[in-house]
Structure 1
Amino acid sequence: MQIDRRGLLAGAAGLAGAAALAGCAPRAERTEIGDWPTEVGDEPVTIDWWSANIATNEGGDLRPRLIEEFTKQYPNVRINLVAAPADTDTNRTTLTTQIAAGSQSPDVIHGDIAWPGQFAENSLATPLSTLVPDDFWDQYPEGLRSAASVDGEYYMFPVYIDNSFLVYRQDLLDKHGLQVPGSWEEVVETSKALIDTGDVDYGFVFQGNVYEGMTCNAVEFVADAGGRFTDEDVTESTATSSEARRGLEFMASLVSEGVTPRASLTYIEQASLDAFTTGRAAFLRNWSYAYDTANSPEASSVAGKIGIRSRPGFDGTDETHTTIGGWGSYINPHTAKPAAALAWARWLADEDAQQLIVREGGVIPARTASLTSPDAKAAAKPQYEIAADYTLVPRPTATAFYPKVSQGIYVNANSIAAGQSAVETGTSRMQRQMDVALAGQAL
Structure 2
Amino acid sequence: MTITVKSAMMRTTAAAAVAAFGATAVAADEITYVSGAVGNAVEDFKTIVAPWEEATGHTVTLVPMPSSTTDQFGQYRLWLAAGNGDIDLYQTDVIWAPQLADHFVDLTDAAADIAGLHFPSIIESQTVDGKLVALPIFTDAPALYYRTDLLEKHGADVPTTWEELTATAQMIQDAERAEGDDDIWGFVWQGNAYEGLTCDALEWVKSSGGGQIIEPDGTISINNENAIAAIELAASWVGTISPEGVISYQEEDARGVWQTGNAVFMRNWPYAYGLGNGEDFAVAGLFGVTTLPTGQGHDTSAATLGGWNVAVSKYSDSQDAAISLAIYLASEEAQKTRALVASNLPTIISLYEDADIAEQQPIIPQWKDVFLQAVPRPSAPTRQDYNEVSTLFFSAVHSVLSGNEDAATALADLELDLEDLLE
Question: So what's the TM-score if we normalise by structure 1?
Answer: 0.85
Distance 1:354 1:337, change over 3 A: same
Structure 2 counterpart of 1:218, from 201, 204, 210 = 201
Q: Does 1:342 align with 2:323?
A: yes
Partner of 1:15: none
Distance 1:223 1:420, change over 3 A: same
Structure 2 counterpart of 1:136, one-letter code: I
Q: Is the 8 A contact 1:55 1:363 kept in 2?
A: no
Structure 2 counterpart of 1:265, from 247, 266, 274 = 247
The alignment partner of 1:365 has SS state of: coil
Q: Does 1:185 align with 2:171?
A: no
Structure 1 counterpart of 2:339, one-letter code: V
- Aligned pairs (5 A) from 1:131-146: 131-133=110-112, 135-146=113-124
Q: Cα distance, 1:316 vs. partner? A: 3.8
Identity of paired residues, percent?
27
- Aligned pairs (5 A) from 1:291-370: 291-298=273-280, 300-314=281-295, 316-370=297-351
Q: Is the 8 A contact 2:274 2:342 kept in 1?
A: no
Partner of 2:264: 282
Q: Deviations over 1:227-246 (max 9, x none)?
A: 22444345342221122212
Equivalent-residue separation in structure 2 for 1:388 and 1:188 (angstroms): 23
Q: Is the 8 A contact 1:128 1:153 kept in 2?
A: yes
Structure 2 counterpart of 1:165, from 143, 153, 178 = 143
Equivalent-residue separation in structure 2 for 1:260 and 1:150 (angstroms): 40
The alignment partner of 1:168 has SS state of: strand
Q: Cα distance, 1:315 vs. partner? A: 5.9
Structure 1 counterpart of 2:160, one-letter code: G
Q: Does 1:406 align with 2:390?
A: yes
Q: Which sections of structure 2, spanning at least 5 residues, go unmatched?
A: 1-20
Partner of 2:130: 152
Partner of 1:72: 54
Q: Cα distance, 1:84 vs. partner? A: 1.5
Q: Deviations over 1:10-54 (max 9, x none)?
A: xxxxxxxxxxxxxxxxxxxxxxxxxxx963322121111112226
Q: How many residues align?
A: 395
Q: Does 1:87 align with 2:68?
A: yes
Q: Does 1:126 align with 2:110?
A: no
Structure 2 counterpart of 1:246, one-letter code: A
Q: Cα distance, 1:292 vs. partner? A: 1.8
Partner of 1:12: none
Equivalent-residue separation in structure 2 for 1:214 and 1:105 (angstroms): 32
Q: Is the 8 A contact 2:194 2:394 kept in 1?
A: yes
Q: Is the 8 A contact 2:358 2:364 kept in 1?
A: no
Q: Is the 8 A contact 2:35 2:62 kept in 1?
A: yes
Q: Cα distance, 1:383 vs. partner? A: 4.3
Q: Is the 8 A contact 1:163 1:387 kept in 2?
A: no
Q: Is the 8 A contact 1:54 1:63 kept in 2?
A: no
Q: CA RMSD in A?
A: 2.0
Structure 2 counterpart of 1:301, one-letter code: A
Q: Cα distance, 1:435 vs. partner? A: 2.2
Structure 1 counterpart of 2:196, one-letter code: G
Q: Is the 8 A contact 2:343 2:364 kept in 1?
A: no
Equivalent-residue separation in structure 2 for 1:104 and 1:48 (angstroms): 10
Between 1:404-413 and 1:384-393, the stretch displaced more is 384-393
Structure 1 counterpart of 2:332, one-letter code: E
Distance 1:301 1:368, change over 3 A: same
Between 1:372-381 and 1:63-72, the stretch displaced more is 372-381
Q: Cα distance, 1:111 vs. partner? A: 1.4
Q: Deviations over 1:331-353 (max 9, x none)?
A: 11101111100011110001110
Q: Cα distance, 1:81 vs. partner? A: 1.5
Structure 1 counterpart of 2:404, one-letter code: Q
Q: Does 1:49 align with 2:27?
A: no
Q: Is the 8 A contact 1:53 1:63 kept in 2?
A: no
Q: Is the 8 A contact 2:329 2:335 kept in 1?
A: yes
Q: Cα distance, 1:89 vs. partner? A: 1.1
Q: Deviations over 1:397-441 (max 9, x none)?
A: 1122000000011001111122211111110121122222323xx
Equivalent-residue separation in structure 2 for 1:88 and 1:207 (angstroms): 13
Equivalent-residue separation in structure 1 for 2:395 and 2:259 (angstroms): 28
The alignment partner of 2:328 has SS state of: helix
Question: So what's the TM-score if we normalise by structure 2?
Answer: 0.88
Distance 1:132 1:363, change over 3 A: closer
Misfit runs of 4+, over 4 Å: none
Equivalent-residue separation in structure 2 for 1:326 and 1:377 (angstroms): 20
Q: Deviations over 1:79-114 (max 9, x none)?
A: 111111211111111122012101102101111111
Q: Deviations over 1:188-235 (max 9, x none)?
A: 111111121214531111111000000001110011111224443453
Partner of 1:202: 185
The alignment partner of 1:247 has SS state of: helix
Q: Which sections of structure 1, spanning at least 5 residues, go unmatched?
A: 1-36
